[in-house]
Structure 1
């Protein structure tokens, strides 16, 4: 059985605690993330998902309930050891760069952690190779595309050899090509290692790639399950302010036009196969 990596137990956090009229940003939320799993936490703006990210990496501590990482309580004593095993990639890649070149940037956290020079050089090379950015080692980060910048940010995170990769809206500012580059990189890393991935996102296309989805609404855990179980809710998700995956939207539009489909498909491949089998391959 896979071991627990992160566990939240009846966690509540309110930003304006002194104002009793304020609803909690996170209200009595519980869930567990297991080793090697990809969990997507989805929800509209203000649903509580970004607060959960801060609770999981120790930027915030719950007012009630417990957060455990690697089986140990996350508190001020364990915080730095926990963060050393957690790679973070944030929304805006430009806010993450501190080095004059790509390799300087990837090396920055390693140098701060006292990694010996020879080992640091090897880790930088390996990390950039994994994200297909080796040819840009001496490039200035601000000359890169959005997708390339986020791949460098991922390289910086995995150079620390973390057990957890936390993506906080990491694809929300990217164009479709950049988004695909980043998500393909994460999928490849998972295939090569037992990396645990937690993605905070409002993009249900991204959530499709996860093993499990936790859906937040107004600070509460609204639903939890496999992507196909969550997306079966269809219009319910739209009513909660989320955009359905592209293939599901197209499926619904086709049905309104009288096109017979087996189901509202989540992936474009499934939709194309259904159309081909039902309408063209006769």
Structure 2
């Protein structure tokens, strides 16, 4: 596996002139490999947003280094490296600058000097990838929440990035919009080998990841597969996190005497277990 992004002993402290007068991150080290989906979770103030800013060069570490595609991120190579990273933020309305969907997707391409004919092709291709090609001339602000985020993803994909960073990208969406976005990202990852970094409060989103990093007060508290992380149960709740709905329901059902073979992370797994254990005898 090829390392595509890494933090090595990274620390960052906000200065007294800034709003947060505290050590946001201390001694953070981890690696992300090509094609992985990594979810970063933690309570408010754990350092998630600061980590996102460090990974895309909005901030530079005061100690340690951030390496992207084999290079140490610095002011000299910042723009070249950023061209390989797509960002999708919490509120899609804050990202829109074009009068129409196609204008918005083309904006970053124009800024990067992409020739017109290639730009048109990329706009159409990226919108087709997120199944929004029928909305070329629509005004972004008239779209649903899930559609807006898919357009934001198309804008990132048009730059042909190696890495997609989603910073609470589904937190403002209703369940249907959230499912649209996550299904899109899953499919894109399978089709294009895209590396995904998802900073999220949504545990159902975190379950889709290959690995989860749990941040707590500026440190990496734990990392592992979703099964390894959520098996910690009450330990996570004490950190201000929650457990996936299916896992909480599994625990409650077993505590009330319902026969289950296991505790489940997914609703489908729980439904199958209930069916085979109790109704298919």
Q: Structure 1 residue 163: deviation in Å?
A: 0.6
Q: What CA deviation, in whole Å up to 9, does each residue of 1:38-86 have, x standing for no partner?
A: 1111111111111100000000111111111111110111111110110
Quick one: distance in 1 between partners of 2:29 and 2:106?
Answer: 36
Aligned-partner SS, 2:241 = coil
Matched residue pairs, number?
280
Q: Does 1:244 align with 2:243?
A: yes
Aligned-partner SS, 1:243 = coil
| Alignment-derived partner of residue 219 in structure 1 | 218
Contact 1:91 1:170 in 2 (8 A): yes
Q: Structure 1 residue 257: deviation in Å?
A: 2.0
Quick one: distance in 2 between partners of 1:174 and 1:138?
Answer: 23
Matches within 5 A, 1:59-138: 59-138=58-137
Q: Structure 1 residue 18: deviation in Å?
A: 8.3
Contact 1:68 1:74 in 2 (8 A): yes
Quick one: distance in 2 between partners of 1:43 and 1:147?
Answer: 24
> 5+ unaligned residues in a row in structure 1: which ranges?
none
Contact 2:88 2:166 in 1 (8 A): yes
Aligned-partner SS, 1:39 = strand
Q: Structure 1 residue 236: deviation in Å?
A: 1.3
Contact 1:150 1:182 in 2 (8 A): yes
Quick one: distance in 2 between partners of 1:92 and 1:139?
Answer: 19
Aligned-partner SS, 1:8 = strand
Q: Structure 1 residue 23: deviation in Å?
A: 4.4
| Alignment-derived partner of residue 45 in structure 1 | 44
Q: Structure 1 residue 256: deviation in Å?
A: 2.8
Q: What CA deviation, in whole Å up to 9, does each residue of 1:198-252 have, x standing for no partner?
A: 0111111101101111110111100011111101011111121112111112112
Q: Structure 1 residue 269: deviation in Å?
A: 1.1
| Alignment-derived partner of residue 158 in structure 1 | 157
Quick one: distance in 2 between partners of 1:255 and 1:243?
Answer: 19
Quick one: distance in 1 between partners of 2:40 and 2:96?
Answer: 26
Q: Structure 1 residue 260: deviation in Å?
A: 2.5
Quick one: distance in 1 between partners of 2:16 and 2:47?
Answer: 15
Aligned-partner SS, 2:185 = helix
Q: Structure 1 residue 140: deviation in Å?
A: 0.4
Contact 2:14 2:22 in 1 (8 A): no
> 5+ unaligned residues in a row in structure 2: which ranges?
none
Matches within 5 A, 1:3-22: 3-16=2-15
Q: Structure 1 residue 191: deviation in Å?
A: 0.9
Quick one: distance in 2 between partners of 1:111 and 1:79?
Answer: 18
Contact 1:215 1:222 in 2 (8 A): yes
| Alignment-derived partner of residue 24 in structure 2 | 25
Runs of 4+ off more than 4 Å? none
Q: TM-score, normalised by structure 2?
A: 0.97
| Alignment-derived partner of residue 193 in structure 1 | 192
